[in-house]
Amino acid sequence: MSGRPPETPERPNPTKADPDFFRKLKVLVVEDSAEMQRLLVALLDSMGVGQVIVARDGEKGLAAFAGERPDIIVTDGAMVPMDGYEMTRRIRAAEAGGDANPDVPILMISGHVGRENVSHARDQGVTDYLAKPLSASTLYEAIVAAVSKPIHFVEKPGYRGPSPRRSLDARRS
């Protein structure tokens, strides 16, 4: 007996992600609740995200999207004067080839997880839909999936974004 405690395998910690992966990311958080803003910024900081930009509603989110060109957007669904659904629709309708990328992954966070809400988000072009309350591991997994496994985009009159026929369920923590 060596006197040392037996080794236990290290469990992955979602907030200790690969610093190179997250350090290069620029994330736009669009959220009207100051408490949720603080929580999201703290979670993203703990993952090592290089730059976090915060906007308090969809209108300010659109302006930040155009000016900051984020790699990923994390948005609330219900906000005023412009909600996350309308902001997503407008981002997806933006012209490709400009400074900002209309194909940017958009993660929507909402307490409204009914089928109609999730379908509406999908139809506006949301990449993934995350249920509140939100855990660090759920946010981590959604970011990794959105950035490392791009989904197929379609363009048709009046719509640009992920295929509206794809299955989308709310991720729950």
Of the candidates 12, 15, 25, the residue with the CA atom closest to the CA atom of residue 107: 25
Phi, psi of 89 (to 5 degrees): -60, -45
Token pair in block for residue 36: 């949720």
Count the alpha carbons within 13 Å of 67 in the hemisphere toward its beta carbon. Answer: 9
**Sequence ranges of the domains in the chain:** 19-148
Residue 94: per-residue pLDDT = 74
Residue 11: per-residue pLDDT = 38
Residue 164: per-residue pLDDT = 62
A 10 A CB-CB count for 109 gives 26
CA distances from 41 to 13, 84, 101, 135 (A): 18, 18, 22, 13
173 residues of the chain, pLDDT tens digit each = 445 444 434 434 444 455 688 889 999 999 999 999 999 999 999 999 999 999 999 999 999 999 999 999 999 999 999 999 999 999 988 765 566 788 899 999 998 988 899 989 988 889 999 998 899 999 999 998 888 776 666 777 766 666 666 666 656 65
CA distances from 100 to 70, 94, 103 (A): 8, 8, 9
Confidence (pTM): 0.80
Class of domain 19-148: alpha beta
Task: Report which DSSP code applies to 97.
Answer: T
